[in-house]
């Protein structure tokens, strides 16, 4: 089992003809993902190494049976790309593009909530999602992940997501699904959305949560872990040594006043019963111990 995507997911790449879209679209296909189409309004009827390119997502849905979309179009065009996908009947949209204006994100996220409540949006500015061995949508290097479970991963940071997958693979531990929710101000999918889904997934028996400074999403996740989650959690929060008031790359990663510090997040997670590591390697080791305990 897995969450959100599996081997039946049929993906259209909006921006397949661009250099990043092409590279990762082909790489995702090589991994085994059902990459069924690409779109480009000016290049309908062409193809990219056997993947048909349509002028619209609607055509990709009708002619190629696409159910999910992976968006690589440049930031100024993301809002219309997301809405086009939803209107065409796509139910899972992962936006990899970074640099999307916050006002656009706020608008299209709420538009989806109101008019397309069954659509799940992931990102923007996220690495995507991988259900190892079955489906890889986005920019994660698939070979660093081990299929099978029992661990589900949710992370706010792209590169730390890879780091976590890699640490677990080094220990021979499999992953059900790994979701990179991204670090932007208005993430389509939150920690809690993923925790809920992992809780409902019988193959996921433990969860790794990777957060970072800024905002209060980790604290909210901690409250959920303490009250509603039956599965054990290992977490790591990046930015323990980040100075206050400095934006650390992600729009979300800024400590303002006493809010959003790594220490506060770690305390909240620990109080909720999660094991809290001080670096990604330790998180991998803690998860190894945890999985051994579960198997005992």
Report, as residue numbers or ranges, the catalytic residues: 250
Closest separation in Å from C-beta 244 to another protein:
12
Which residues have C-beta within 8 Å of that of residue 295, sequence separation ≥ 6?
none
> Residue 147 has what DSSP assignment?
B
Residue ranges of the alpha helices (H) in the chain? 19-31, 57-64, 78-87, 102-115, 158-170, 191-200, 217-228, 262-271, 280-295
- Say whether residue 67 binds another protein (CB under 8 A): no
Give 150 or 185: the residue with its C-beta nearer to another protein.
185
Q: Is 102 in the site for another protein (CB under 8 A)?
A: yes
Q: What backbone phi and psi angles, to 5 degrees, belong to 39? A: -130, 150
- Identify which range of 4-12, 43-51, 224-232, 237-245 contacts another protein by CB under 8 A: 237-245
Find the helix packing angle between 78-87 and 102-115, rounded to 10°.
10
Q: Is 203 helix (H, G, I), strand (E, B) or coil?
A: coil
* Residue 43 CB, nearest approach to another protein (Å): 22
Nearest CA to 192 out of 230, 164, 154, 236 is that of 154
Report the nearest approach of another protein to the CB of residue 75 (Å). 7
**Per-residue contact track with another protein, 14 to 53, x per CB under 8 A?**
------x---x-----------------------------
109 binds another protein (CB under 8 A): yes
In whole angstroms, how close is the CB of 72 to another protein at the nearest point? Answer: 10
Binding residue for another protein, selected from 251, 255, 276, 287, defined by CB under 8 A: 251
Q: For another protein, which residue of 64, 81, 85, 144 counts as binding (CB under 8 A)?
A: 144
Q: Does 216 participate in binding another protein (rule CB under 8 A)? A: yes
Of 122, 258, 133, the C-alpha closest to 191 is 122
Contact map string, positions 187 to 206, toward another protein, x by CB under 8 A: --------------------
Convert 216-282 into a string of H (helix), E (strand) and C (coil).
CHHHHHHHHHHHHCCCCEEEEEECCCCCCCCCCCCCCCCCECCECCHHHHHHHHHHCCCEEECCHHH
Give residues in contact with another protein (CB under 8 A).
Answer: 20, 24, 75-76, 96, 98-103, 106-107, 109-111, 114, 127, 139-141, 144, 155-163, 166, 183, 185-186, 210, 212-213, 215-217, 220, 236, 238-243, 246-253, 257, 278-281
């Amino acid at each position: 089992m897995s969450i959100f995507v599996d081997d039946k997911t049929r993906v259209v790449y909006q921006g397949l003809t661009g250099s990043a879209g092409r590279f990762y679209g082909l790489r995702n296909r090589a991994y085994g993902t059902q990459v069924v189409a690409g779109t480009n309004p000016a290049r309908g009827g062409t193809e990219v190494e056997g993947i048909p390119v349509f002028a619209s997502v609607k055509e990709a849905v009708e002619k190629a049976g696409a159910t999910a979309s992976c968006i690589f179009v440049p930031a100024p065009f993301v809002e219309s790309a997301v809405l086009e996908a939803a209107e065409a009947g796509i139910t899972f949209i992962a936006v990899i593009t970074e640099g999307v204006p916050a006002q656009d994100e706020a608008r299209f996220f709420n538009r989806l909530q109101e008019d397309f409540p069954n659509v799940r949006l992931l990102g923007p500015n996220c690495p995507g999602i991988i259900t190892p061995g079955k489906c890889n949508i986005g920019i994660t290097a698939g070979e660093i992940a081990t299929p099978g479970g029992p661990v589900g991963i949710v992370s706010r940071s792209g590169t730390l997501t890879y780091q976590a997958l890699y640490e677990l693979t080094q220990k021979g531990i499999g992953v059900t699904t790994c979701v990179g929710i991204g670090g932007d101000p208005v993430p389509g999918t939150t920690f809690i959305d993923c925790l809920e889904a992992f809780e409902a997934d019988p193959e996921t028996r433990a969860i790794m949560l990777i957060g970072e400074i800024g905002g209060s999403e980790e604290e909210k996740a901690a409250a959920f872990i303490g009250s509603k989650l039956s599965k054990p959690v290992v977490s790591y929060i990046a930015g323990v040594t980040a100075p206050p008031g400095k934006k650390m790359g992600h729009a979300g990663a800024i400590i303002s006043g006493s809010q959003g510090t790594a220490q506060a997040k770690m305390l909240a997670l620990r109080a909720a019963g999660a094991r809290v590591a001080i670096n990604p390697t330790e998180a991998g080791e803690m998860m190894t111990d945890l999985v051994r305990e579960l198997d005992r």
